[in-house]
Homo-oligomer: A and B are copies of this chain.
Amino acid sequence: MALTVVGSIAYDAVRTPFGERERLLGGSAVHFSLAASFFTEVRVVGPVGEDFGETELAVLTDRGIDVGDIERVSGGETFFWRGHYEHDLNVAHTDDTQLNVFAEFEPKLSERSRNSELLFLGNIQPDLQQRVRAECSAARLAALDSMNLWIEQARESLVAAIGEVDILLLNDAELRMLTGEPHLARAAQAAMKMGPRVVVAKRGEYGAALFTAETVLAVPGFLLDEVRDPTGAGDSFAGGFLGYLDGAGAHDLAEDHLRRAMALGSVLASFNVEDFGTERVQRLKPEEIDQRLSEFRALTHFDDGPVTVR
């Protein structure tokens, strides 16, 4: 199985109450790819500038990620984001955004990238998402992420793009904004009417909720002793979630697979936030994933059955 992801590749400058870094490898496609690479073959499509280093590229290739469709733009500079977090790590404060080569990004997919079983349309302009979706008509499953900017500025195009995918992943606030429904379960129902069979609401440190026509699932966030940098947690969640589904061949979206995918999304996000940028996931070992999945089950498991009631 293989998965293609289209999205941003970036340099991030990040400050949190627990430290700061001036030049971190970042971007939605990067965090997503690293998380997904533990479960399936990953092909990444996105632009970088001439300043993008071999060291950063090696972070991806060391995890076996196919970087053949990373386009190096002559004379261009890589997308740059500077932000900080106060004590409430759920809220990112943006101090500077330089789109650079990302502003003129026109995704170019190789034959290999077009033929992946699963396609993830990361958070890019929705017209581009639609175009890539059409190019990857062979994909057995397509998923999409977006953000408040596109909901506000390109709603019609975004709704059309959502209409072409099987799975929609959004922050809970974005899902409410997209649908105009303050109540989460109803917002998810409204989003499903746009096309997707599965809607996942990402809830930051509180975990995630998943909705289909038949079922509702929820996982809390993993409760860590230490969180250093939440940047990329949502993308790591998506990478763990979709990477697992593709690697397991679960393109039919059977419920047991969705359950495990939600847990693995949370597990990968939990590793991501333990250190700055990609630092923790770069040194992550497969067996640590199995172990934390068991710990996560221990965190949430309980038995049902009749209780003594009066």
Contact = CB atoms under 8 A, between A and B. Distances in A.
A307 B209 contact: no
A6 B151 CA distance: 49
Interface string A233-275: 0000000000010011000000010011011100000000000
Given A224-B185, A290-B309, A216 B299 contact: yes
Contacts of A300: 217-219, 300, 302
A75 interface: no
A138 to B, nearest CB: 23
Given A223-B184, A223-B185, A259 B303 contact: yes
A160 to B, nearest CB: 27
A170 to B, nearest CB: 16
A116 interface: no
Interface string A166-187: 0000000000000000111110
A51 to B, nearest CB: 30
B227 A309 contact: no
Contacts of A221: 218
Contacts of A183: 225-227
Contact of A302 (B286, B297, B303): B297
Contacts of A209: 220, 223
B220 A218 contact: yes
11 contacts: A17-B182, A183-B226, A206-B206, A207-B220, A217-B299, A244-B307, A260-B303, A293-B304, A297-B303, A297-B304, A301-B301
**How many copies, total?**
2
Interface stretch (A34-42, A119-127, A140-148): A34-42
A88 B173 CA distance: 11
A310 B64 contact: yes
Interface string A73-92: 00000000000000110000
A199 to B, nearest CB: 12
Given A218-B220, A300-B300, A310 B40 contact: yes
A302 B259 contact: yes
A238 B263 CA distance: 27
Contacts of A306: 290
A55 interface: no
A248 B308 contact: yes
Contact of A301 (B259, B294, B310): B259
B310 A39 contact: yes
A289 interface: yes
Give the interface centre of A217, A259, A262, A310 by most chain B CB atoms within 10 Å: A310
